[in-house]
Structure formats: C-alpha cells, structure tokens
C-alpha cells in the first residue's frame, strides 16, 4: 500500500511537497481535494484541515509540508543533491524559515489586503518585498539560492514567489527584480513543476 497524499493543486505548501516527492521519485497515492469540501478521511487523519497531508502505510500522519519534503528525501534517492551538505542544510533551513515565518504572512496580507484594513495593499507588498530583495541580491551572485544547482531552498520557496507575482503580474514584470523573475520563470517552466501541476480529477470518498 502506497502512502496517501492529500493535496490541493494551487496550494504552495502542497506544491513544494509534491515537488520533493517527484524529484525523489517516491511512490504515493495522490488524492486531489477541494478545500471547500474537505474529505472526512483527510480530516480524520489531520483535524487541522490544511494540505498537504501524508498518511503512511503504518497509519503515521505527516501534515507539515517541510516534514513531507524531508520524508521524501529520506525515502527516495536525492540524485539532484537537493539537501546538500551540513552547512547547506543549515542554509536551507534559514531560507525556509524566512519564507514561512516572515514572507508568507506579508504575502497573505498583500493578496487578501481587503481583510487587513490596518494598512494598504502597497504597504503589505513593500513589506513582502524585503524577502524578494534578499532573493534578488542572492540571485545576482548565483543561479540558485545555494549556488549553481537547485536545492530544497529553491523548491521550498518558489511556489510562494509565484503566488506573490500572480497578485499583480503587470507590476511584477516591471519591478526591479530581474534575477528573481528569471529564476522563477525557469522553475515554473521546469519539467518537474509542469508534471506536479497536471490537473487531476478531484478525489471523492466512496
């Protein structure tokens, strides 16, 4: 029995989990769901009701995307060197922490600014741009966040940058972040991302 992955196609957390699983060629049963109609089986496995949720054959549940990425690397073959050495692993953790803890809250406010009247959408975008500028500065020196090859830092962050860009693509295309755009376009256009974004039928409980 393959592990079961509950996923929502457009969720950036689910995207990075699917990417790690795909890169490491780990076999899972992917069940695409609708967040407005969450299946009972998923909620029983993880009552918090967010994706991704991975249910292992022994019943163990992993319901944090970063933990699922690490699980995939442990189960499969890291032939792309996504995890790197010990120093690079620390750098990966730092990038993911910054993305998840600092950038993502500002991204949410920028995207859903109507629900956050304390500041303007421009204010929220400028706060999110702190992380975008950090990416730009890094990518001015190298092609990926850790050097000249893709790592878990790239996989774990770019789905959120994609979301940021899509809030106002016209603005993003002329914003002073050419290296971020180049990096993002390359990753979004990769065979791996195209594969994990393939549309699937919504899973329905029997």
SS3 state at 158? helix
Regarding whether 124 and 181 lie in a shared domain, the answer is yes
Regarding whether 186 and 97 lie in a shared domain, the answer is yes
The answer for 79, left when phi > 0, alpha when psi is -120 to 50, beta otherwise, is alpha
Return the pLDDT at 77: 86
Q: Binning pLDDT at 50, 70 and 90, where does residue 1 land?
A: confident
pLDDT digits (tens, 9 = 90+) for 108-163: 999 999 999 999 999 999 999 999 999 999 999 999 999 999 999 999 999 999 99
Regarding whether 39 and 122 lie in a shared domain, the answer is no
Regarding whether 145 and 104 lie in a shared domain, the answer is yes
Q: State the pTM of this model.
A: 0.96
Q: What percent of the chain has pLDDT over 90?
A: 97
37 has a pLDDT exceeding 90: yes
157 falls within a domain = yes
Return the pLDDT at 123: 98
Return the pLDDT at 9: 97
173 falls within a domain = yes
Cβ 205 vs Cβ 14: under 8 Å:
no
pLDDT digits (tens, 9 = 90+) for 53-91: 999 999 999 999 999 999 999 998 899 999 999 999 999
Q: Give the distance from CA 117 to its chain's centroid.
A: 27
Regarding whether 164 and 94 lie in a shared domain, the answer is yes
Cβ 143 vs Cβ 183: under 8 Å:
yes
- Residue 8 tokens read as 């929502």
Domain of 115 in residue numbering reads as 86-190
Return the pLDDT at 76: 84
Residues in CB range of 10: below 8 A, 6 or more apart: none
Return the pLDDT at 15: 98
């Amino acid at each position: 029995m393959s592990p079961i992955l509950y996923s929502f196609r457009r969720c950036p957390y689910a995207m990075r989990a699917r990417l790690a699983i795909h890169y490491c060629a780990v076999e899972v049963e992917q069940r695409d769901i609708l967040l407005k109609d969450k299946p009972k089986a998923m909620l029983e496995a993880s009552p918090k009701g967010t994706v991704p949720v991975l249910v292992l054959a022994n019943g163990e549940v992993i319901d944090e995307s970063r933990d699922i990425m690490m699980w995939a690397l442990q189960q499969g073959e890291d032939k792309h060197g996504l995890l790197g050495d010990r120093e690079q692993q620390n750098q990966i953790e730092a990038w993911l922490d910054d993305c998840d803890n600092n950038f993502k809250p500002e991204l949410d406010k920028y995207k859903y600014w109507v629900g956050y009247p304390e500041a303007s959408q421009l204010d929220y975008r400028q706060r999110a741009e702190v992380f975008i500028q950090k990416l730009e500065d890094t990518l001015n020196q190298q092609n990926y966040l850790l050097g000249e090859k893709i790592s878990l830092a790239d996989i774990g962050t770019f789905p959120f940058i994609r979301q940021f860009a899509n809030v106002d693509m016209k603005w993003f295309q002329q914003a002073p972040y050419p290296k971020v755009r180049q990096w993002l376009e390359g990753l979004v256009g990769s065979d791996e991302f195209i594969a994990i974004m393939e549309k699937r039928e919504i899973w329905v409980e029997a």
